[in-house]
Structure 1
């Protein structure tokens, strides 16, 4: 089959006319579909509705009344639940509120205001910089941008950030203070960090003594097609004397309820002590009733894993639909390429260079809202204007069918326009 990228100008003009007719037919349907963010569908949320009635008593195992003040860093039962799930020692865990992003922002703010381990506050570092593996998570980039840092894109590979680039940058520049990492089923590429990548991140020489890895394991148990192991970043860092380097984050946002889940952070004992010193002033403690509710509902880590298998069964048909449609509609065109994820929440697609913004614009005009083109890069500036994040989870299967077919049509229409303009 001849690729569209190999068409003559006359063939492209003929195809454009046909595609525009199809596009107008979609517009006439008056669609209002949303694939903009990785939100759980109501049917997913229904799987944990039992959480709402799980609390039959307000007391922890030690007899503490969870309705009252106290317990700065989380009830012991919640710490143990996450310790067992993630294989992190209990004394290295702080249980927070519902948002891991909130914990990341707080952690970054503390480093900016107070510094860490005797180093000067980051606000006093002229020209402070942060590494941003790209394509990556827009909300991560927004945090460091909000702090006034210079964001440095780092190429992503199937095994994580390009470590040759990372190691060179951090060894030469002491104003580079850290890196964002989503180590399993990364947002949006679905990349899973290899053992070698974990080891190199843990052991690399950094010019900044207070270099920090923000290890956001957001999709650590979100396997859809294949369960992927992840090397223990704490053990790897401890073996090199760099355990203070790691700030680990996780939440139940896409396990139970995004607006009412539990988030945790974990780090070395010395970092935890430093963080708690500031937390004692910031808060008296987070929602212990919600922590207890989650403990009562799940009971143990294996029950969380069983729940995630149910979620995978619910999500797999949606991912199958997206991937099958991309293959059928775009696979032989030469107009797009994409990554087949093993888990997580997204499918990342690259259009021809210069076509992502136009594709997203066309989709929105016809009634399908996508994540903004460029959002997966620092400052929302995709140098190739090609990457688009597809979020299949929120629409119903019927809505998704329409949305992904329209999206493919928009990819083709934008690509054909680009080729005509260049021919």
Structure 2
């Protein structure tokens, strides 16, 4: 396909896609089967030996997780293992438990349920599942722009000065979903310097070790918050879902000693321990920082060609129609229609068999007021399928401009 062709030829290409009835899917940031194959040894690594860290992993106990699992999580989050709880397979589930603990229990102050209103700041575009959870819990959301190296600090400062109901902020600090940006030291230090009692900064560090190209280094977040005497403001989450097996990995949360005590007091009423067998599997495979790094390099070799292909296809678009991010890691490309054509593009794609993330999903309440953002998730599909999907996507961008 040549995007310099006249519009009649572009329409012909579009009709060919429709007639083919081929179904293409770029909706979610899922690992490909090739990526998952790299962790098949998790199934055999135990070899009947269930003792790990001098613990029989088959039994109850160790709510906070095996010491070796907390150490692994510490490598991922760049945090002190003593401040980490490893439990379950989903960081979203741990996030939900943490928010529930604040709603019903608080952290030594008033429980959020006893307040008239609780509001969160949400840097945008952001992660749709964060927004869906906050909305389900009745927490009001206020969007704050991302600036390429983190959120707009002036907007945050102004909102905090004028709205007492704001109790927290949630975002992804490295290879942010969907923009791919990495928060700068300046932004992290400014966030750590926010002097608002009870304000929680929830950093879902889902892509902490997920570089596929040369990347800026994420500052040492935990150390910065400790140095600013604001460790109680910091909540960090992560998992191995996009390191080992999606949905069958390890989930973890990093908290200050005070926050950990409060959270465990709540969480212990819902769990008798953690899945230590699964933790042992992971810690035997990822038994050193070197082993973890080498595994991530293998994943990067699978992922990078897909992101290179997306960039190649998008660069064929004429100037002035759109802008998009060029991430160096993570799972997404954020595409902005400069003329507010996102809904047209999305509809054209859908009608021709290309499924995309729901329109507006990257904003609270699904409201993209500028009608511009579309999230592209290229990781799960094979290269040939991705090439077809991006050809169709670019055709739809051109047709949306004409309609």
* TM-superposition CA deviations, 1:313-371 (whole Å, max 9, x none): 1111101111001002x1x3421111111111001101134311221111111111111
Which secondary structure state, in structure 1, belongs to the residue aligned with residue 116 of structure 2? coil
The aligned residue for residue 210 of structure 1 is 198
Q: Is the 8 A contact 1:85 1:302 kept in 2?
A: no
The aligned residue for residue 408 of structure 1 is 394
Deviation (angstroms), 1:172: 3.1
Deviation (angstroms), 1:15: 4.7
Q: Is the 8 A contact 1:60 1:75 kept in 2?
A: no
Which residues of 2 match residues 235-254 of structure 1 at below 5 A?
235-254=223-242
In angstroms, what is the RMSD of aligned CA positions? 1.6
Q: 1:255 to 1:230 in 2, by over 3 A?
A: same
The aligned residue for residue 174 of structure 1 is 164
Cα distance in 2 for partners of 1:155, 1:113 equals 30
The aligned residue for residue 304 of structure 1 is 292
Deviating more after overlay: 189-198 vs 273-282 = 273-282
Which secondary structure state, in structure 1, belongs to the residue aligned with residue 386 of structure 2? helix
Cα distance in 2 for partners of 1:24, 1:256 equals 40
Cα distance in 2 for partners of 1:62, 1:409 equals 56
Q: 1:291 to 1:304 in 2, by over 3 A?
A: same
Q: 1:81 to 1:57 in 2, by over 3 A?
A: farther
Cα distance in 2 for partners of 1:263, 1:62 equals 19
* TM-superposition CA deviations, 1:84-136 (whole Å, max 9, x none): 343311210000111001111110111011111x2111112112211010100
Structure 1, unpaired ranges of 5+: 5-13, 418-423
Q: 1:254 to 1:410 in 2, by over 3 A?
A: same
Q: Is the 8 A contact 1:356 1:385 kept in 2?
A: yes
The aligned residue for residue 365 of structure 1 is 351
Cα distance in 2 for partners of 1:317, 1:340 equals 13
Q: Is the 8 A contact 1:171 1:205 kept in 2?
A: no
Deviation (angstroms), 1:150: 1.4
Query: Residue 288 in 1 paired to residue 279 in 2?
Result: no
Which secondary structure state, in structure 1, belongs to the residue aligned with residue 51 of structure 2? coil
Cα distance in 2 for partners of 1:277, 1:58 equals 32
Q: Is the 8 A contact 2:77 2:205 kept in 1?
A: no
Query: Residue 93 in 1 paired to residue 84 in 2?
Result: yes
Q: Is the 8 A contact 1:167 1:205 kept in 2?
A: no
The aligned residue for residue 26 of structure 1 is 17
Q: Is the 8 A contact 1:351 1:415 kept in 2?
A: no
Structure 2, unpaired ranges of 5+: none
Q: Is the 8 A contact 1:170 1:205 kept in 2?
A: no
The aligned residue for residue 43 of structure 1 is 34
Deviation (angstroms), 1:58: 4.0
Which residues of 2 match residues 15-414 of structure 1 at below 5 A?
15-116=6-107, 118-206=108-196, 209-328=197-316, 330=317, 332-414=318-400
State the number of aligned residues.
401
Cα distance in 1 for partners of 2:59, 2:339 equals 56
TM norm structure 1? 0.92
Q: Is the 8 A contact 1:153 1:377 kept in 2?
A: yes
The aligned residue for residue 421 of structure 1 is none
Q: 1:365 to 1:88 in 2, by over 3 A?
A: same
Cα distance in 1 for partners of 2:321, 2:109 equals 50
Which secondary structure state, in structure 2, belongs to the residue aligned with residue 369 of structure 1? strand
Deviation (angstroms), 1:227: 3.1
Cα distance in 2 for partners of 1:313, 1:141 equals 32
